[in-house]
Amino acid sequence: MRLDFTGQTVVVTGATRGIGKQIADDFAALGATLVLTATSPEAVEALNAEGDGRRRWHAVDFTDPSSAAAFADALEGMARIDVCVNNAGINRINPVDETRLEDWNDVVAVNLTGPMLVTRAVSRVMKRAGYGRIVNIGSIFGSVSREKRSVYSTTKFGIRGLTVASSNDLARHGILVNSVSPGFVLTDLTRRILSEAERDELARQVPAGRLARPEDISPAVLFLCSGLNTYITGQDMVVDGGFLNV
């Protein structure tokens, strides 16, 4: 048995860097045709100009209701969508008593409202075919939390609710909905916000002895989105090197 997405149309939000880029690259390597999002219109124009025809980029700002709605409408108008990965996400770190309403609204819009709108749109297309796979990218902060993570954790706990509830609605239509929750992942953002010493200290807290790489997360997503998954739905796959177990 092997993974093969040849002939399938796959949607991945937030695909320009980190986990999202890895997921998109892996789907492309396995034959998929991709519908991808980025926030910068200039970047999208350049990406579409240099593309190979199997990746179509859309400029989407999920903090802008009209932009998010336009993308959802575009998805709903597609003839076929086999797979959707709701990956786009942002974080704003502050103690709860210093949280700004603007930050709350932005993080909820990108991390929770965006996945709901995209799920609603793609599921309508998938129901017509009687087949679909949806994976929401969660976080270990949807199970535990830390200081200054009240807004982010709220959205990631919410993603679990969206996953479970929508899986109940869609399973009878051949659509399986799951989430993948990464632990601490070594991305460009992690390198910017944490010093090398801080990264080393964090890695020592992980039983696997290191931070995750984006390529550690992508295989879990690929499996859940593949035809090898025929009966798993409403579940959360934690990919954290054992961190939640200690």
For residue 214, the model assigns a pLDDT of 97
For residue 79, the model assigns a pLDDT of 98
Is the pTM here over 0.95, yes or no? yes
For the chain of 246 residues, list the mean pLDDT of each consecutive stretch of 10: 93 97 98 98 96 93 98 98 98 95 98 98 98 98 94 98 98 98 91 89 97 98 98 98 96
d(CA 103, CA 63): 10
Q: Is 49 exposed, middle or buried (0-12, 13-18, 19+ CB in 10 A)?
A: exposed
Which residues are marked as active site? 152
Cβ-proximal residues to 79 (8 Å cutoff; 6+ apart), any chain: 125
For residue 53, the model assigns a pLDDT of 87
**Dihedrals φ, ψ of 177, to 5°?**
-125, 125
For residue 191, the model assigns a pLDDT of 87
For residue 213, the model assigns a pLDDT of 97
For residue 52, the model assigns a pLDDT of 84
For residue 159, the model assigns a pLDDT of 98
